[in-house]
Amino acid sequence: MEKFNELIQSAKPVLVDFYAEWCGPCQMLGPILAEVAAENSSFKVAKINVDEESALAERFGVMNIPTLAVFKEGKIVNSSVGVISKEAIVDLVK
């Protein structure tokens, strides 16, 4: 939890993927997020396994997965549920 708090207090925006290993759509989104992370240095990308970090998922109201949440200055400023395109992910962070 402490590491997560440090992460979302980052000077850069942070895109957090709330996912689970058993989730098919989450597995589809994984490679897309890896590409986004490799191609964009203006923000950070993090993954949170909701099965291992259920308290974090609950804290941020994650009801469905995959959920992408954009944090700026420690607060969620944008989010999306489900699989979206690489372009839509980048637009989510802007």
Active-site positions read 23, 26
Residue 70 pairs in a beta bridge with 15, 78
Would you call 87 exposed, middle or buried from its count of C-beta atoms within 10 A (0-12, 13-18, 19+)? Answer: exposed
SS3 category, 43:
coil
